[in-house]
Amino acid sequence: LMSEEKKSLFSRVYENIVDRRERLLSGKINCIPWGLPRFEEDHPGLEQGKNVLFTANSKVGKTQICDFLVLFNPIKKIIDDNLDVRLKIFYFTLEMTAKQKMLSAFSHILYIKEGIRVAPKDLRSTKESNLLPQETLDIIKKYEPYFNKIEEVVEFIDDVRHPTGMYDFLRKYAISNGTLHYRNIEIKDKITGEVNITKVEDYYEPNDPEEYVIMIVDHISLIQPQKLNGVQLDLRETISLLSADYMIKLRNRFNYICVAVQQQAQSQESVENKKHDRLMPTLDGLGTNKTTQQDFDVIFGLYSPFRHKIPEYLGYDITKFKDNIRFLEIIGGREGGGGTVCPLYFDGAVNYFKELPHSDNKEDLNKVYEFMKNIKK
């Protein structure tokens, strides 16, 4: 067989699209669907070797949309839909502890499986008048297989906060679960003419090509500035080291998926922006380091019109939804799709999102309004 290096670019690209087509015909997948049917028409799902950035203003739900789409949804599809995929997630949780993340998982699973709406703070039984019912504890125990699955596939890491430590964590996993091949290159000394042989990384073969390995960093501005080659980097430079260097290496060398959460700058919600109706997250509005937009294959922005007392947005009555509506938009990406907006019902207490009916579908929207009334009782 002709080596990969000697094949023409046409041959390599053509063989890849044929292979992806055959995979679908044989029942395999090329991405993990988002669980948002209309939205998937423009962006089908989470793909190996594609890096993703989520951004929003503070307290809008950027961590929650990341967790819903990248953490809870894939695990649910594996368990409930028998999705034939192996999953390994390294979650660098810089804002919450591992225990807090598991409490969030308890709340989410209780809601989607049993319709029980209990926020993480209520699970902690902080006072006698707010004692968690025994029946709720029993139901949590009932779904222990879900939580065991989360522990099996997700490693919550709250004590590694600098980019090199994060990269080393993922690289170590790659080396333990695949083979990194090397090749020799000749380097000629310009002065002496002496030729030296140097071994460099060539390509990587995973033991399990079907495994989706995901790195999540939440959120990227909370990473710890570090030294590089004896030079102390500031926060902006440290973010670039992570996103432009390490995350791209993990994507290109190992076909891993790197996901980051990044807050919008405070100025994005300025009076001037409100005056000109520029409150949605933008690439220019990325906080601390705007150059991260160059490092990700797709960038999602999450927006809450209720936060700005906007009564109507894209045909939706915000006065009825109040804080229970969000708009997920593709604000950047290497393959287009920018401007695609997905309206979502949102319940922050249980980390839940659901695609809303079209704004002109009054019958189905009325059902949502009735549902929200019952939730609030």
Predicted local distance difference test score (pLDDT) of residue 2: 43
Read out DSSP for 289-320? -GGGGGS-SEEEEEE-GGGGT-SEETTEEHHH
Residues 44, 42: Cα–Cα separation, whole Å: 6
Residues 294, 28: Cα–Cα separation, whole Å: 31
Which residues make beta-bridge pairs with 162?
Answer: none
Residues 122, 118: Cα–Cα separation, whole Å: 6
Residues 86, 347: Cα–Cα separation, whole Å: 29
Six token digits for residue 40: 């998937």
H or E, element range at 356: none
Which residues make beta-bridge pairs with 261?
Answer: 54, 218
Is the Cα dihedral 372, 373, 376, 377 positive or negative? negative
Neighbours of 102 (CB within 10 A): 16
Neighbours of 207 (CB within 10 A): 9
Predicted local distance difference test score (pLDDT) of residue 45: 95
- Check if the beta carbon of residue 203 is closer than 8 Å to that of residue 181: yes
Mean pLDDT, consecutive 10-residue stretches, the chain (377 aa), reads 61 91 93 95 94 96 97 92 92 92 94 94 88 94 91 94 96 96 84 84 91 96 93 96 97 97 87 73 94 96 95 96 97 81 96 97 96 77
Structure-token match 């949804």, residue found: 73
- Check if the beta carbon of residue 218 is closer than 8 Å to that of residue 94: yes
296-334 in b/e form (b: 16+ CB < 10 A) is bbbbbbbbbbbbeeeeebeebebeebeebbbbbbbbbbe
Predicted local distance difference test score (pLDDT) of residue 18: 96
From the CA atom positions of the chain, what is the Rg in Å?
23
Predicted local distance difference test score (pLDDT) of residue 5: 52
Question: Cβ-count burial of 363 within 10 angstroms (0-12 exposed, 13-18 middle, 19+ buried)?
Answer: exposed
